[in-house]
Structure 1
Amino acid sequence: MSLLHSACLSSFNSADIKSPKEEDQEPEELTPVGEEQMEVHIGPEEVKKVGAVSLKVYRSYWMSVGKWLALSVLVSLLLMQASRNLSDWWLSHWITHMGHQNATGQNRPSAAVYARQLVRFIRSQSKGKVSPQLKFFLTVYGCIAAINTVFTAARAFLFAYGAICAAVIIHNKLLLRVLKATTVFFDVTPVGRIVNRFSSDLYCVDDTLPFILNIFLATTYGLFGTLLMISYSLPWILLVLVPLVILYFYMQRYYRFTSRELKRLTAITLSPIYTQFSETLTGLTTIRASRAVARFEEENTHRLELNQRCLYIGNTAVQWLDIRLQMIGVAVVTSIAIIAIIEHGQKRGNPGLVGLAMSYALSITNLLSGVIASFTQTETQMVSVERLDEYFTEIPIEPQEGHIE
């Protein structure tokens, strides 16, 4: 991963990205009438923030969604996951009850017992005869499934509505702030930088961020539900999960630092492309008359290359993470299978709960990798909200009242 850092940083020379000292010298201090003097980072070079996305950015998006609407989404997710785990537990309880009822004279029910029970159930259905006990299990299972469907639909509707509300509010705030900006702001800010905010960053807020945030919340709740059910069904799996969680934590932390900075570099190198494209269209006649087409093509190719380097290294970092997660996942599933076999050999626990734990154990690796990947992508997409939030607070605006002296 350190090679990715060095490769990415070496692709930008001193003329492309300024040093911190040079960045501090370039921004001008703009003093809007009626407001306190503030230092804003606008000018020829765009400033790239370093480090984790601040909690203020997450709070800004939370408030854009609406605090009560966002809370309703989290509650609906909790109820959806709880009803899903409850339906799985009820199914395992049903299987355990069938085994104890039909395994007469056997120490432990076998697969043949469940097969005979299934055959009897199919025959009774064809004859129109269903026992009251079977009706009870089917009714409860059907009710739980119906409740899960309701909570799933509510969660999908609330999340989609919240994402639309956030996108509309952020767009309106950005548009209103830019329309009220001072003339000096448009003089010192390239057009491509503003277009980048209204195109690439707003697209992330409209589409990419809600999509990946939905995956992150679903996998996070699914992971907690899975850990709870496994701990209840097969407590010895916790011996494997504890070092697994520690290893996953350091791995995702190491990966997130690189991915976050690459996203910022990608966003910064995209603005010059928009700027040159706009300037080229405006002065196309002059460029052709001056026979400067080759020079502009070379400059455009250079800027595209800088942006594509960031994208390429970002995709390489994703593959780096996937390979290590798959290797760890194979070791984890093998360990869980060994623990389940040992438990079965010692005749501890019932087959329903052991089967439930095994089914959840097969999916826990995907959930852990999904949480890391989706959280990293969510934080990466939150960089767009961070960039938009800069314009909400740092753009100097014209006075809305009084007169201009």
Structure 2
Amino acid sequence: MTEEEYNTGAVPLSSYFSYFLTLFHPIVAVIFMFIEVVSEWWICLLQFWLGIVGSPDQISSITFEYKLLMLGIGNVLGWLFIQIRAIIGAYGVRRSNKIVHGELLNHVIHCPLSFFDTTPLGRILNRFSVDVAQTDHLLYMMLQFVLNLTINMFGQIIIIAISTPLMLAIGIPALILYFVISTLYMRAA
């Protein structure tokens, strides 16, 4: 019996990209990314508007009732964007599950008989139950989290730059320095 081999190291970025391509048809992927960007930027704009509503001296010509009305409409639209994003995401996860499970089943069915002699049955069952279930749930949630965080970060940087332009002179070099340090750290870890 030979020693079992495991892959080590980071998962290649191409694997995540190919998973994203199984989520959506390319046209739906463009719509999903558009709604993702709009919903996250809408949340940033609502936070900016909330700062205007909370400050009595900013835009004093607008009545308080109008500010609250705009905030209410903004929240309803934000909720609508998030619901559309969730529906498209559920469709994508369902589509991805079909493709990933189908390819996995197809590969297992077409394996030579020697594969079944050398591979424990429990390992094959785990691929179809535990491992794929984690992929079904966690991978999409992590993709959604990374997209939300990235888009929200750029939105916050833009909002801060609007109110404090000097921040760009300090913030952008600090962001580049952080990226370089984190890249070096990830290689060393």
TM bracket (short chain): 0.7 to 0.9
Distance 1:208 1:101, change over 3 A: closer
From 65, 68, 71, the equivalent of 2:23 is 65
Is structure 2 residue 58 aligned with structure 1 residue 85?
Answer: no
Is structure 2 residue 155 aligned with structure 1 residue 155?
Answer: no
Letter in 2 for 1:169: I
Residues 99-141 of structure 1, C-alpha deviation per residue, up to 9 Å, x if partnerless? Answer: 1687xxxxxxxxxxxxxxxxxxxxxxxxxxxxx9333333222
Residues 218-242 of structure 1, C-alpha deviation per residue, up to 9 Å, x if partnerless? Answer: 1111111111111111111223322
Superposition pairs for residues 80-119 of structure 1, below 5 Å? 80-94=39-53, 98-99=56-57
- 5+ residue gaps, structure 2: none
Aligned to 1:76: 35
Deviation at 1:54, TM superposition (A): 4.5
Aligned to 2:94: 164
Aligned to 2:109: 179
Deviation at 1:170, TM superposition (A): 0.7
Number of residue pairs aligned between Structure 1 and Structure 2: 187
Q: Kindly indicate whether the alpha-carbon contact (under 8 Å) linking 1:81 and 1:222 is maintained by their aligned counterparts in 2.
A: yes
Which of the two has higher C-alpha Rg? 1
From 108, 122, 137, the equivalent of 2:67 is 137
Superposition pairs for residues 226-241 of structure 1, below 5 Å? 226-241=156-171
Is structure 2 residue 7 aligned with structure 1 residue 48?
Answer: yes
TM-score (norm 2): 0.80
Q: Kindly indicate whether the alpha-carbon contact (under 8 Å) linking 1:44 and 1:190 is maintained by their aligned counterparts in 2.
A: no
Is structure 2 residue 176 aligned with structure 1 residue 246?
Answer: yes
Q: Kindly indicate whether the alpha-carbon contact (under 8 Å) linking 1:44 and 1:189 is maintained by their aligned counterparts in 2.
A: no
Deviation at 1:192, TM superposition (A): 4.8
Deviation at 1:248, TM superposition (A): 2.4
Structure 1 runs of 4+ aligned residues shifted over 6 Å read none
Distance 1:234 1:161, change over 3 A: same
Residues 160-203 of structure 1, C-alpha deviation per residue, up to 9 Å, x if partnerless? Answer: 33123212321121012211222133234444543443244313
CA-based RMSD: 2.9
Give percent identity, aligned residues only: 28
TM-score (norm 1): 0.41
Deviation at 1:79, TM superposition (A): 1.0
Q: Kindly indicate whether the alpha-carbon contact (under 8 Å) linking 1:51 and 1:257 is maintained by their aligned counterparts in 2.
A: no
